[in-house]
Structure 1
Amino acid sequence: MELCSSASLTSFYLKSFVVSLPSTSICSPYSFKPTKQFTSLTVSHTCHQLSHYSQRKLSVSARASASNEVVKDPLSADLIVKETQEPNCRMRLSVEVPEVVCEDCYDRVIDEFTKWAMVPGYPSGRQVPEDILVNYIGTEGVRKATVEAILKKTLPHAMSSVEGRALNDSIRITTSFSEMEKTYASLNILRYDVVVEVAPEVKWVPEDGYKNLKVVVELDSEIEAKTAAEQELKRLYKTLSTMRIVKNRGLQVGDVVVLDISATTVGQDGSEVEVLAAGSKGFNFDTEDGDTVVPGFLDAIIGIQRGETKSFPLAFPDSWKQEDLRGLPCQFTVECTELFYRELPELNDAIADKLLPGCTTIDQVKESLLERYTELEQTAKAQATDNAILDQLQKMIQVEIPKSLFEDQGSQLYGGKLLEIQSNMKLNEEQLEALSKPEAVREFLENQRENIECLIRQSFAVGDIFKRENLQISTDELVKGVESSVAEFKQLKQEYDEESIQAQVQEILEGAKVLEWLREHADVQYIIN
């Protein structure tokens, strides 16, 4: 067993400390036993959503104490702890353990060694003199075990001043183990430094500005229930049509045309350059969906006949969804390879069941569609409202974002994205390994820095409002949320840590409670685009 590794010490104090009988070494009766971690790569889609309110509130010592992993044993004397505030939300705790506490830990180590050490000449149960026991174990081994015991006993006490503020997985013992050994050997005391990231202070600008929110929510006209229901009825009606080949005329609005499209632009050197992203072969275009193409495209091809080619200039608008095409002037060449018109049945009650199974009249079809899209409109409207509120909240707070919190939130988002890619594309092990490499994660974090920091600011804002307004969630809500998440993990046959799930479910419920409170108190105005 490796006893002098500072990395192992740090890992241990971030997770758990257990006393056990060693099987491969007699240097120390203590061993490190980390708990199973809840990693981003085992998060389900639901738990990925929970990360939007992933503010780590409990200190490591407080969380461990709550789960009986670390217990604050009483000390025979007070520690001397000096706090120093450092940049990036870090706190340095310089700890000095007095001699009397060190002696208590030494006695504990001797007692533990006495229980299991099989010293030649001393049958089981017979007391081994201390000097003989130390000589058998080795002075260095006893010293290492004592330093570990001192750390185990004093670290929870040293962390008391930052309990409830320290961020999980951010504690680092920066003093080397060898340096601690030297101090203990020469002075019979122990000194060590701990660096921990603490939850930053949230400052509202203006103060309590969230209490007087005025939110403008922009809604897409397509989510309006009546419009959406009419469009869906039109789409369903089209599915009942019979396609007929157009003869002796050119393209009209309402026709369906198959086009071969190519586009060129002028390069920096004045030469003609093909724009591959703007071209398409066998493009099936319903002329009633003219808003899906470049403005002016439909007007330019009206009248085109089968086998005919037309060429015309158009520029992509600055709002085009493909960024690399925005504002780009192109010369389009379009060949009409097929041209059809629809032969539609009469829109009457006779086709109601074909439009929507179970319906007997067209009115019933319209009512059912309107009811369906009214529910979707309400859901979309609520989501848009929440998004607008959260976006405004994150602009109203000033908060320093700890590095570990940024990396944790970003890693969770990346893990969720990786799961989404895996489910859609069925990546093989080699591809998954490539996407899981640290450099791939770092690139994602840097590219998504603004979005990640926005989510974290939202999280801090929501958490602060929950505390300020003394909001509460019920035990039943928490239990049901945990059960639902656990059931999803089991269904997906994924590993999970129930304690971590409970913490995240609690945070998402708190977020929902805050949004409910804000919707009730905010002045919300809706604009239809």
Structure 2
Amino acid sequence: MELCITTSSTTFLPLNRAYASVLIPLKKSTLQFKNQKATLTSLKFSSFSRLIQPQFHRNRYCVSASAASSVAVGPEMDKLPANIKVTETEEPNSRVRLNVEVPPAVCEDCYKRVVNEFMKQAKIPGFRPGKNVPESILLSYVGKQNVQKATVESILKRTLPHAMSSVTGRALRDSVRITTKFSEMEKNYSSLNSLRYDVIVDVAPQVKWIPEDGYKNLKIVVEIDNDIDAQRAAEQELKRRHKSIGKLKIVTDRGLQIGDVAVIDISATTIKEDKSNGQKIPDTETKGFHFDTEDGDKYLPGFLDSIGGMQRGETKSFPLVFPESWRQENLRGVNAQFTVECKELFYRELPELDDSIADKLIPGCTTLERVKETLLQKCQEVEQTAREQATDNAILDQLHKMVEIDIPQSLFEEQGRQLYGAKLLQIQANMKLNDEQLATLSSPKAVNAYLEDQRENIINVIKQNLAVGDIFKRENLQFPTEELVKEVENSIAEFKRNKQEYDEDHIRDQVQEVLEGAKVLEWLREHAEIQYITR
């Protein structure tokens, strides 16, 4: 039997903000006895490194998710008639074991309180409610075993906050549990009139940089997709818009050539070592596919050359090998026999690309030059955003490789639930899951399977988050207060528009996490040596 700490209230941030896929545990905490370790029975998100003592620096970051949290444990501490003895032992995974020894004086005081409470509430025949009842009669009426159980619970509730005082400011939310069986504590108390129990708690992990302060001299190589080159993208977009206002006409007197659009059926089978056909490749089967020959370089190498010259109604069969760089891993290096049937064949009749069609290309533009300038400007904005995002991703990827962190299990599970919950939100938005499907995907079995499958990724995300929080603290970074105020106001406005309840303090914390994270990335971009290469 273990004593677990559970939160009883949550609130949601708006789902369409950068820091929005977060649930923040609020206010109340209750002590509950459970017969086994708590499993992942719900998807819960929490803010990053929210520590017990307000004066302790709180690392906050929310690029992908949040990480460690902690809350005050149990009720307020009251004064004990004698000091308890607590022995602290460090264990792997940033875990601390507390061996608690409660002296007889404390146990006796708790016993008296329990007896007095029973006297107030018990309705014993022959005695008026609230009047003193001989202890022997009370025990006989209530049951000595019940009084003993209540006494042990009282001892735990009163002494646990004192026992936890040595880890205040370090304990992580929902990680505190008493590992000693309740039956053992009853037996110990009954025979010795004292109590011993063990508490295990996860604490905020330390960030160790390798090398020390290595983040100050980052050397980053950022791969940029060739498709986002502004000049190239603008030319392609102009071409796409030009084709969109053209007309498709049926080809009747020739075969397929560059510039045409073919409607084709495609199928393929694997080729065995003896050159015979093998199994069908379902991923390749397509009916009525509109193949634009001008986009032929985006498809399987050799495919366009193999169907060149095909006429309407013709079928061709030819072998091709999927390259090792193919996006679908299961097809890389596969030797396949393709069969293609040409259903329809069209050519484009395009208007002259000049000022006369400028308004059709972009409403409001009067010249072709203005169309090109507008498209280039938009593509430059897209390119800049993509470069910044790629840079941030490369920096974060580098950070998790430069830190050693003994990650607590509770932190791993919390981060995993955060990522899995975000994934479910995305699936729900795309597929509109029904209640039964959502229940299946959010079951403990599904969550645990995700945690195991994505263990390495979850650990890397935690390392990134903790590394960023550590940098913010080390470098004493700041951001304008008015920026925080503005973002908080925007968030609250969204809550009100969606008619959702909110807690302003927690919204402020979440916004601050995002701003701190952005400030760290800005600082790292300025101090890193960054090389951009096109792929």
TM-score above 0.5, yes or no: yes
What is the aligned partner in structure 1 of residue 5 from structure 2?
14
Whether 1:58 aligns to 2:58 is: no
The Cα offsets for residues 485-505 of structure 1, whole Å up to 9 and x where unpaired, read as 566567667787777666554
Q: How far apart are residue 386 of structure 1 and its match? A: 0.7
Distance (whole Å) between structure 2 residues aligned to residue 131 and residue 100 of structure 1: 21
**Aligned mate of 1:381, from 376, 379, 387:** 387
Q: Which amino acid aligns with 1:525?
A: Q
Distance (whole Å) between structure 1 residues aligned to residue 455 and residue 95 of structure 2: 20
Greater shift, 271-280 or 56-65, is seen at 56-65
**Aligned mate of 2:223, from 215, 218, 225:** 218
Whether 1:464 aligns to 2:470 is: yes
Distance (whole Å) between structure 2 residues aligned to residue 216 and residue 239 of structure 1: 38
What is the aligned partner in structure 1 of residue 186 from structure 2?
181
Distance 1:133 1:496, change over 3 A: farther
What is the aligned partner in structure 2 of residue 409 from structure 1?
415
Name the TM-score, length of structure 1 as normaliser: 0.84
Contact 1:57/1:166 (<8 A) preserved: no
- 1:499-518 alignment runs, 5 A limit: 504-518=510-524
Contact 1:204/1:397 (<8 A) preserved: yes
What is the aligned partner in structure 2 of residue 161 from structure 1?
166
Distance 1:436 1:164, change over 3 A: same
Task: Describe the SS at the equivalent of 1:471.
Answer: coil
Distance 1:140 1:183, change over 3 A: same
Greater shift, 505-514 or 517-526, is seen at 505-514
Q: How far apart are residue 37 of structure 1 and its match? A: 4.8
Greater shift, 89-98 or 358-367, is seen at 358-367
Distance (whole Å) between structure 1 residues aligned to residue 81 and residue 16 of structure 2: 44
- 1:387-398 alignment runs, 5 A limit: 387-398=393-404
Q: Which amino acid aligns with 2:172?
A: L
Identity %: 62
What is the aligned partner in structure 1 of residue 29 from structure 2?
none
Distance (whole Å) between structure 1 residues aligned to residue 329 and residue 265 of structure 2: 23
Unaligned runs of 5+ in 2: 25-45, 57-68
**Aligned mate of 1:436, from 428, 433, 442:** 442
Distance (whole Å) between structure 2 residues aligned to residue 268 and residue 495 of structure 1: 65
Name the TM-score, length of structure 2 as normaliser: 0.83
Distance (whole Å) between structure 2 residues aligned to residue 60 and residue 110 of structure 1: 35
Distance 1:329 1:364, change over 3 A: same
Distance 1:201 1:162, change over 3 A: same
Distance 1:458 1:84, change over 3 A: same
Contact 2:19/2:511 (<8 A) preserved: no
What is the aligned partner in structure 1 of residue 59 from structure 2?
none
Contact 1:54/1:459 (<8 A) preserved: no
Distance (whole Å) between structure 2 residues aligned to residue 362 and residue 62 of structure 1: 62
Q: Which amino acid aligns with 1:411?
A: R
Distance 1:329 1:341, change over 3 A: same
What is the aligned partner in structure 2 of residue 27 from structure 1?
none
Q: How far apart are residue 285 of structure 1 and its match? A: 0.9
Q: How far apart are residue 396 of structure 1 and its match? A: 0.8
What is the aligned partner in structure 2 of residue 48 from structure 1?
21
Task: Describe the SS at the equivalent of 2:159.
Answer: helix
- 1:105-504 alignment runs, 5 A limit: 105-113=110-118, 115-120=120-125, 123=128, 136-267=141-272, 271-273=276-278, 274-472=280-478, 481=487, 484=490, 504=510
Distance 1:321 1:54, change over 3 A: farther
Distance (whole Å) between structure 1 residues aligned to residue 235 and residue 120 of structure 2: 82
Contact 2:11/2:23 (<8 A) preserved: no
Aligned length: 500
Distance (whole Å) between structure 1 residues aligned to residue 475 and residue 220 of structure 2: 20
Contact 1:60/1:168 (<8 A) preserved: no
Distance (whole Å) between structure 1 residues aligned to residue 281 and residue 70 of structure 2: 63
Q: How far apart are residue 93 of structure 1 and its match? A: 0.6
Distance 1:211 1:187, change over 3 A: same
Distance (whole Å) between structure 1 residues aligned to residue 381 and residue 426 of structure 2: 27
Distance (whole Å) between structure 2 residues aligned to residue 295 and residue 270 of structure 1: 21
Contact 2:52/2:70 (<8 A) preserved: no
Q: Which amino acid aligns with 1:221?
A: N
Q: Which amino acid aligns with 2:95?
A: R
Task: Describe the SS at the equivalent of 1:47.
Answer: coil
Distance (whole Å) between structure 2 residues aligned to residue 431 and residue 296 of structure 1: 42
Distance (whole Å) between structure 1 residues aligned to residue 477 and residue 465 of structure 2: 15
Q: Which amino acid aligns with 1:412?
A: Q
Task: Describe the SS at the equivalent of 2:524.
Answer: helix
Contact 1:61/1:159 (<8 A) preserved: no
Contact 2:19/2:510 (<8 A) preserved: no
Contact 1:60/1:169 (<8 A) preserved: no
What is the aligned partner in structure 2 of residue 92 from structure 1?
97
Task: Describe the SS at the equivalent of 1:14.
Answer: strand
The Cα offsets for residues 206-256 of structure 1, whole Å up to 9 and x where unpaired, read as 111001111111111222222222222221221111111123222221111
Unaligned runs of 5+ in 1: 1-9, 17-34
Q: How far apart are residue 356 of structure 1 and its match? A: 1.9
Task: Describe the SS at the equivalent of 1:48.
Answer: coil
Contact 2:86/2:98 (<8 A) preserved: yes
The Cα offsets for residues 307-351 of structure 1, whole Å up to 9 and x where unpaired, read as 233333221111111111111122222222211111112223332
Contact 2:19/2:514 (<8 A) preserved: no
Contact 2:70/2:173 (<8 A) preserved: no
Q: Which amino acid aligns with 1:384?
A: A
Distance (whole Å) between structure 2 residues aligned to residue 131 and residue 60 of structure 1: 45
Distance (whole Å) between structure 1 residues aligned to residue 10 and residue 18 of structure 2: 18
